[in-house]
Chains A and B, each alone.
Chain A
Amino acid sequence: MNLSTLTRASSLSTTITSTTLRRSITISSSSLSYTPTSTNPKTPLFLRPPIFTATLTDLQKFQNWAKTLTSSIGSSFKDSDNGPDSTILHRELNWFIEDAVENPNSLLTQSETEIGRVVKLRAELGDLYTLWKQRIEKRRPFQYVVGCEHWRDLVLSVEEGVLIPRPETELIVDLVCDVMKMNEEMKSGLWVDLGTGSGAIGIAIARVLGEFGRVIATDLSPVAVHVAQFNVKRYNLQDKVSVMQGSWFDPLSGFEGRVAGLVSNPPYIPSGHINGLQAEVGRHEPILALDGGEDGMSDLLHLCNGAEFMLKSGGFFAFETNGEDQCRFLVDHMKSVHNNSFCDLKIIPDLAGIQRFVTGIRS
């Protein structure tokens, strides 16, 4: 991939909403082609063809079994590591069934006479039992169980080996939108998402870019690269987003000083905290996506340094951090070490009120 392919103008419409996308893809899932490799991403449950059947009675039996199992959790996960309580798990169970059944609305309107009715499923009934057991007994994250995460207005494919995008990170896209609102030119620039994971931030940015705007999304993990590519294709953004494998700025040689916007949610958890993490995170998500070194700052600092030479003048950056301490440290670092390179440095809180993001402009 080189600059010329990246900057090739393409006028492909990218304004499909996730609902229409979801619907149209559900119908023609076979037309989703991606090169089969050993790291072939798994198709999310809701996109699999409904080739299995079960009677409504059997499905309800499953539902009752799962409800009982779920209720038995009470607040024990919450008490042990701030995991989900049974109210949240019950909601997940509803979504699980929503994703697994071809026509979930039909379950609502069932009447007594329809008990023997057959419903179409996207996985075998036996697998539903196995999957829900994994959710509860193994604390396998719900998003891995169903193979997707709803994030902003996107439904992203995720699987073991790639980080499940967090709600906090949605705000990075809002920050980017604000910048674009103030400066229309940014819509036609080159944007970079470093450590893209599932491709979340890069894809969301690509959908608000103008005709000439492009995104490069990078990740060191081959699984992440494949999953990101899969998601890029799902949203038909191949002409706008290129996913590259490599460590941080390595895949970007040649773009120094040409980047309009640089965003990243790099690993920022201090190594010492990894052991005490919530089971869903610590036992199942990739350590490469979480561990930010002794103070959690090693990648963030590396990114700050890189931003100085990658961004063009007037270019924008936004980084997610672990909270107030890291935010302050970064801002101080940028002011002292990179004095005069950045201006308009800001610390921005997430919706839970935690100081989460550092943003700024390359002078």
Chain B
Amino acid sequence: MTSNILRTAYRRRSSSILSPYQSISTFFQSSSHPQSIDKQQNHVSGFEFISKNAYGFSSVSNKRSTLSCGCCFNNTQMWFSTQTAVEPSTSDGLTVDDIVANQWTILDESESDWKSHASAVAQSIRLIKKRLKWKKLKVRLEMLSIQIEKPDLWHNPVHAGKISREHGSLMGKMKEVNGLERELIDHIDMIKLAHEEDDPDLELESVKALLRMRQSVKEKEHEALLAGEHDSCSCYIEVQAGAGGTESMDWAGMVMQMYKMWAQRHGYGVTVVDEMRGEIAGIKRATLRVDGEYAYGYAKAEVGAHRLVRISPFDSAKRRHTSFAAVAVTPILGDGSHHVQINESDLRIERYRSGGAGGQHANVTDSAVRITHIPTGITAACQNERSQHQNKASAMAVLQSRLDQREMARQAQMNAQYTQSLTDNSFGNQIRSYVLHPYRMVKDLRTNFEVSDPDSVLEGEIDDFILSFLTDSMDKENEEV
């Protein structure tokens, strides 16, 4: 095989997406707990151990297949295997576990050192496996596969649907991780081959491709934190000002702005569905629709009360004020996965009445609609659309999301995973404190994560807060298991 052929083949499959979270990579290193080392993994660097109770991997049980594959030179064989039977290894027998074990120094991304890239990717893959609870996932998948084989499975279609959906989803995760391992191995093979053939162009390009993988796999690390049923959904973020008049409303407006900018940073679609402005500044409440993959998974980490301490610009005496804004987040479930079937006759649909005779008498561009679900008293409103019909459809979607959320909460019996809709109670659950005076700091009260630059946070740089919370909750979950 000549380098040229390899090169084209290589180009075709090495396109990767750039991660929007690159800057966060360092965060994980700082929160590691090297003192807790699992027996089976004592060859792994401390960087891996975010969780105190690290989950054991079966690197040993895979050794057999590694050996049998180590001497086999044929890469294509691995490309066609979809299952876990063969652990991929490079032409000279290196597996992903081996790479982790080698503890090659991880340098900054800007250093063009393939070993450093490879080591970083391998670490990420290990972390992803841990977050997915790999061993358990495999056991569960095996169990589901057996169930799916059963001839009487479809006697109960609801159950069967559930089983096959879960099977499909776990299978997808399994394949994705296996794909990552294979991709890493192939990159290394390619780099080594280019080196042997003395083709510096190809070598450079291959190292670059590995770097791209290093960047994109970071995002996968984060996605692995979001394994909840609805985490991949779009969502609504609702912000409500606490007591305290203009100062609180201004704060609620700042919080809303923070989420808008956060969402835009991520390339999510952002729409203000409903907004009630404060008389002088800010908002009384507002609902933001955030469209995109994992919007709910990330945003749900923001649920609770956000506290601001500053000298109020609205206080002529220049006193220090403390204000609150409550945040609720509800997922937008796909058609067919709603938890509540809305009955048309349970709805009261109203237009804000501006007074006057309406109809031909009035020229209006304002066709805000409010829908009340009479049995629960839950309401939803929308005014951002240009027709009444669209405002109604949009408000219906908000209502559906709120009712779904309520039902999920009921089913989970107030499982902490599900947020509550905005009530007075939301202000009781204080999650984060933003201090602008007398010192400057933003601190998450759940994780103790803090930064000293409130401005960047208020401009939407909240990923570190979100990820530290999600990592923390996952660790706690693992501890409980």
Whether A354 touches B387, Cβ cut-off 8 Å, given contacts A91-B365, A281-B363, is no
| A351–B366 CA distance with the chains assembled, in angstroms | 13
| Cβ B365 vs Cβ A278 within 8 A | no
Does A150 sit at the interface, judged by CB under 8 A? yes
User: Please, which residue of chain A has its CB at the minimum distance from the CB of B391?
Assistant: A167
Most A CB contacts (10 A, CB to CB) among B350, B360, B388 go to B360
| Cβ B356 vs Cβ A143 within 8 A | no
Whether A278 touches B350, Cβ cut-off 8 Å, given contacts A88-B366, A153-B390, is no
Q: Which residues of A line the B interface, CB within 8 A? A: 82-84, 87-88, 91-92, 95, 108-109, 141-143, 150-154, 163-164, 166-170, 265, 267-269, 273, 277-278, 280-281, 285, 289-290, 320-323, 350-354, 356
Whether A152 touches B389, Cβ cut-off 8 Å, given contacts A84-B365, A167-B364, is yes
| A351–B389 CA distance with the chains assembled, in angstroms | 11
Does B277 sit at the interface, judged by CB under 8 A? yes
| Cβ A82 vs Cβ B388 within 8 A | no
Most A CB contacts (10 A, CB to CB) among B264, B357, B361, B388 go to B361
| Cβ B365 vs Cβ A352 within 8 A | no
User: Please, which residue of chain B has its CB at the minimum distance from the CB of A81?
Assistant: B356
| Cβ A151 vs Cβ B360 within 8 A | no
User: Please, which residue of chain B has its CB at the minimum distance from the CB of A109?
Assistant: B264
Does B369 sit at the interface, judged by CB under 8 A? yes
| Cβ B389 vs Cβ A354 within 8 A | no
Does B353 sit at the interface, judged by CB under 8 A? yes
| Cβ B361 vs Cβ A351 within 8 A | no
Bitwise interface map of B from 342 to 370 toward A, beta carbon under 8 Å scored 1, else 0: 00000001111111111111111111010
Most A CB contacts (10 A, CB to CB) among B349, B364, B367, B384 go to B364
List, in ascending order, chain B residues with CB within 8 A of A268's CB: 359-360
User: Please, which residue of chain B has its CB at the minimum distance from the CB of A87?
Assistant: B277
List, in ascending order, chain A residues with CB within 8 A of B349's CB: 351
| Cβ A150 vs Cβ B359 within 8 A | no
- A152-B390, A323-B359, A351-B350 given; name 20 further pairs at CB < 8 Å: A84-B364, A87-B277, A88-B365, A91-B384, A95-B386, A142-B363, A142-B365, A150-B385, A150-B386, A152-B388, A166-B362, A167-B367, A167-B387, A268-B360, A281-B363, A350-B351, A351-B351, A352-B351, A352-B358, A356-B358
List, in ascending order, chain B residues with CB within 8 A of A151's CB: 387, 389
A322 in complex: contacting residue of B357, B363, B364, B387, CB < 8 Å: B357
List, in ascending order, chain B residues with CB within 8 A of A143's CB: 363, 365
Return the 9 tightest CB-CB contacts between A and B, nearest first. A150-B386, A280-B363, A167-B388, A351-B351, A152-B389, A150-B387, A352-B353, A167-B367, A82-B356
| Cβ A351 vs Cβ B365 within 8 A | no
30 contacts between A and B (CB under 8 A): A82-B354, A82-B355, A83-B363, A87-B277, A91-B384, A95-B386, A108-B264, A142-B365, A143-B365, A153-B390, A166-B360, A166-B362, A166-B364, A167-B364, A170-B387, A277-B361, A278-B361, A278-B363, A281-B360, A281-B362, A281-B363, A320-B359, A323-B357, A351-B350, A351-B351, A351-B388, A352-B353, A352-B358, A356-B358, A356-B359
Q: Say how far B113's CB is from chain A's closest CB, in angstroms.
A: 31
| Cβ A322 vs Cβ B389 within 8 A | no
| A152–B270 CA distance with the chains assembled, in angstroms | 22
Counting chain B residues whose Cβ lies within 8 A of the other chain, the interface size class is: 20 to 34
| A203–B385 CA distance with the chains assembled, in angstroms | 20
Q: Say how far B279's CB is from chain A's closest CB, in angstroms.
A: 11
List, in ascending order, chain A residues with CB within 8 A of B389's CB: 151-153, 170
Q: Say how far B272's CB is from chain A's closest CB, in angstroms.
A: 10
Q: Say how far A98's CB is from chain B's closest CB, in angstroms.
A: 9
Q: Say how far A200's CB is from chain B's closest CB, in angstroms.
A: 11
| Cβ B358 vs Cβ A164 within 8 A | no
Q: Say how far A320's CB is from chain B's closest CB, in angstroms.
A: 7
Q: Say how far B372's CB is from chain A's closest CB, in angstroms.
A: 12
List, in ascending order, chain A residues with CB within 8 A of B364's CB: 84, 166-167
| A82–B387 CA distance with the chains assembled, in angstroms | 20
List, in ascending order, chain B residues with CB within 8 A of A322's CB: 357, 359-361
Q: Say how far B278's CB is from chain A's closest CB, in angstroms.
A: 12
| A300–B135 CA distance with the chains assembled, in angstroms | 75
| A143–B359 CA distance with the chains assembled, in angstroms | 16
Which residues in window 268-291 of B have CB below 8 A to A? Answer: 270, 277
A92 in complex: contacting residue of B365, B387, B390, CB < 8 Å: B365
| Cβ B388 vs Cβ A170 within 8 A | yes
Q: Say how far A168's CB is from chain B's closest CB, in angstroms.
A: 5
List, in ascending order, chain B residues with CB within 8 A of A152's CB: 387-390
Most A CB contacts (10 A, CB to CB) among B351, B354, B362, B384 go to B362
Q: Say how far B384's CB is from chain A's closest CB, in angstroms.
A: 8
List, in ascending order, chain B residues with CB within 8 A of A95's CB: 365, 386
Most B CB contacts (10 A, CB to CB) among A170, A277, A352 go to A352
A163 in complex: contacting residue of B350, B360, B365, CB < 8 Å: B360
Most A CB contacts (10 A, CB to CB) among B359, B363, B385, B390 go to B363
User: Please, which residue of chain B has its CB at the minimum distance from the CB of A89?
Assistant: B365
| A323–B264 CA distance with the chains assembled, in angstroms | 45
| Cβ B359 vs Cβ A168 within 8 A | yes
List, in ascending order, chain B residues with CB within 8 A of A153's CB: 387, 389-390
List, in ascending order, chain B residues with CB within 8 A of A269's CB: 360-361
Whether A351 touches B369, Cβ cut-off 8 Å, given contacts A82-B355, A273-B361, A278-B363, is yes
| A323–B358 CA distance with the chains assembled, in angstroms | 9
| A141–B363 CA distance with the chains assembled, in angstroms | 7
| A277–B359 CA distance with the chains assembled, in angstroms | 12
List, in ascending order, chain A residues with CB within 8 A of B357's CB: 322-323, 354
Bitwise interface map of B from 375 to 387 toward A, beta carbon under 8 Å scored 1, else 0: 0000000011111
| A113–B355 CA distance with the chains assembled, in angstroms | 47
List, in ascending order, chain B residues with CB within 8 A of A321's CB: 359
| Cβ B366 vs Cβ A353 within 8 A | no
List, in ascending order, chain B residues with CB within 8 A of A166's CB: 358-360, 362, 364
| Cβ B359 vs Cβ A353 within 8 A | no
| Cβ A150 vs Cβ B264 within 8 A | no
| A268–B365 CA distance with the chains assembled, in angstroms | 21
| A353–B356 CA distance with the chains assembled, in angstroms | 12
Bitwise interface map of B from 236 to 280 toward A, beta carbon under 8 Å scored 1, else 0: 000000000000000000000000000010000010000001000
Q: Say how far A46's CB is from chain B's closest CB, in angstroms.
A: 11
| A280–B363 CA distance with the chains assembled, in angstroms | 6
Bitwise interface map of B from 277 to 320 toward A, beta carbon under 8 Å scored 1, else 0: 10000000000000000000000000000000000000000000
